[in-house]
Amino acid sequence: MKKKRLVLNLFVLLFAFVILASPSVIQAETTATCTATGAGWAQANSWDCGNVPTASDDVIIPSGWTMRVNASSAVAGSVTVNGTLHMGNNNSPRTLTVSGDVTIGSSGTLDVDTFPTSQTFNIFIGGNLINHGTFDGRAPSGGNGSVFNVTFNGSSSQAISGSNAAAFHGLTVNTGAIVTIPSGATQPTVDGTLTNNGSLVQASNVPSSTTTRFLHIQDSTGSADKYFGVDVTPDSSSMGTTTIIIKGNQTQCNAGDQLIHRCFDIAPTSANSATVRFWYLNSESNSETISSMNIYHWNGSSWDTLTLASTPRDTEGSYEWVEAVNVSSYSPFGLSDGSPGGPTAVTLQSFSAQPDKTALFTIIIIMGLLLSSAFIIRQRKHSQ
């Protein structure tokens, strides 16, 4: 009877542990919502949560409220701005790091305040940027030139979205980050420098016999080009919604180190014939020569050389381009001044999941409990 009671107790204990150790419980973090009640981020009494926001806290700037990031290294789990959030409060360096989303409501503003002297601040975003109000990293009108730069540093897909276009000063996509850029009226502007060390993604409809420019980003006045991606002109029929992925400044794009350091992936709804122009920075050329640059398509086992246009190549400022005609096979593409070789092409549309360490931990604990139970039962049996 005692042995049966012991087994039953161990079974109940094991069942309770499995329930409590489920991934949804283990992975849950203690989070709080910190709503602004004061003017300075670094002051604990500026928040209704009673403390300066931590990296797991969801921050809310309520409508009608103005908050300034006056901490040298401010952090948050997410930030929702329905009032006004100014980066900085003086000429001291300020950094805001958000592990999740930054959302600007329809009545919200995230910008830079005016200061006696000029300063550059930084915002790091691990999630999405959703702008329904005003997101402006440029120097304010009548200000002294203070700005902020934004870096997307997430480990999974991120997006810039919302009903209003974001106005960046500087925009950086970190290595490993994948950022989707909206097209049309909500495409962002960049007045400073756009650096793509990860992947930029954009989808747009490609109508028949019309050139559609992908990831062609300009400054806020529309007079300066900040980034060139891909131009697609169908020969006749519409290609429908087409997605372009550009992985920039990446040595992983190479096949035997013979390709430039920019990868291209094109995925149309309808794979109709088109003329395609591929742009890349001089700094991404990998010492490949523009005068003899060719375009190659990976067919799954080897590289196919594409037919170039009558005027196949040119240079514009810090950019170079190569153009192919009658393109009808898509994803992926590489550029080289010689026949590429080496490993297969990088497939930019495939993503891998991280192993579930929580599940592994749970299995180990359960196995330990089972072994302990067997040992205890055996010891009891021998002692009787």
202-352 is classed CATH 3.40.50: no
Instruction: Evaluate if pTM is beyond 0.85.
Output: no
Rounded to an integer, the average pLDDT of 348-372 is: 44
Q: Is the pLDDT of residue 364 over 60?
A: no
CA dist 99 and 64 (Å) reads 25
Q: Are 150 and 79 in contact (CB under 8 A)?
A: no
Rounded to an integer, the average pLDDT of 278-285 is: 97
Kindly indicate the confidence band of residue 380, based on its pLDDT and cuts at 50, 70 and 90: low
CA dist 239 and 274 (Å) reads 9
Rounded to an integer, the average pLDDT of 240-251 is: 95
Q: pLDDT tens digits, residue range 181-230?
A: 999 999 999 999 999 999 999 999 999 989 999 999 999 999 999 999 99
pLDDT at 373: 53
* Residue bearing the bigger pLDDT, 6 or 83: 83
| β-strand pairing of 157-161 with 178-180 | parallel
Domain definitions of the chain by residue range: 36-197, 202-352, 353-384
For tokens 């276009």, name the residue: 165
pLDDT at 23: 44
pLDDT at 379: 53
Q: Which two tokens stand for residue 174?
A: 């970190």
Q: pLDDT tens digits, residue range 306-327?
A: 999 999 999 999 999 999 999 9
Rounded to an integer, the average pLDDT of 171-188 is: 97
CA dist 154 and 173 (Å) reads 9
Rounded to an integer, the average pLDDT of 103-117 is: 92
Q: How many CA atoms lie within 13 A of 144 on its CB side?
A: 12
Beta-carbon contacts of 181 under 8 Å, excluding residues fewer than 6 positions away, are 160, 187, 188, 200, 201, 202, 215, 217
CA dist 80 and 59 (Å) reads 6
pLDDT at 251: 83
- Within 10 angstroms of residue 105's Cβ, the number of other Cβ atoms is 19
- Within 10 angstroms of residue 170's Cβ, the number of other Cβ atoms is 19
pLDDT at 368: 54
CA dist 319 and 357 (Å) reads 44
For tokens 């139970």, name the residue: 373
pLDDT at 362: 44
Which 3-state string (H, E, C) describes 54-89?
A: CCCCEEEECCCCEEEECCCEEEECEEEECCEEEECC
Using CA atoms, how far residue 197 sits from 23, 219, 250, 257, 267, in Å, is 33, 20, 7, 18, 21
Mean pLDDT (the chain) is: 86
Rounded to an integer, the average pLDDT of 153-164 is: 96
Q: Which two tokens stand for residue 295?
A: 């375009």
CA dist 117 and 126 (Å) reads 30
Q: Are 293 and 258 in contact (CB under 8 A)?
A: no
pLDDT at 61: 98
pLDDT > 70: what percent of the chain? 81
pLDDT at 354: 38
Least confident window among 79-88, 141-150, 258-267: 141-150
Q: Is the pLDDT of residue 21 over 50?
A: no
Least confident window among 91-100, 119-128, 354-363: 354-363
Alpha helices, DSSP H, located in 86-237: none
Q: Is the pLDDT of residue 177 over 80?
A: yes
Rounded to an integer, the average pLDDT of 49-65 is: 97
pLDDT at 20: 46
Q: Is the pLDDT of residue 121 over 90?
A: yes
Rounded to an integer, the average pLDDT of 71-88 is: 97
Q: Are 234 and 272 in contact (CB under 8 A)?
A: yes
